[in-house]
Amino acid sequence: MDVRRAVPKGLPYFWVHFGVSFGFAHVIEDQERFSKHFAEEIIGGLLKLDPRTWRKPKEDHNVIPKVKQFVEWWQKFDCTRQ
């Protein structure tokens, strides 16, 4: 199922893709009240992480090399490029 067909055009939403054939879409009804940490809260909850991990993150000056390394590592798993 294509989430773009399930959610009306122009309506803000948050999409989580679980594998090749299914996922979860959450319509954002009030963007002003929508938590900017929503994704972190969901992932942190799944991983049982302390909320301080995303609410008060430590400043990381080496983030660019880490992002580049992750992008390189992720390429073989990225189903959007198939």
Predicted model pTM = 0.47
Report pLDDT digits (tens) over 19-65: 777 778 888 888 888 887 888 888 888 889 888 877 777 777 788 89
DSSP string, 17-61: EETTTEEEEEE-S-TTTS-TTHHHHHHHHHHT--THHHHSPPP-T
Domain ranges of the chain: 3-81
Is 76 strand, coil or helix? helix
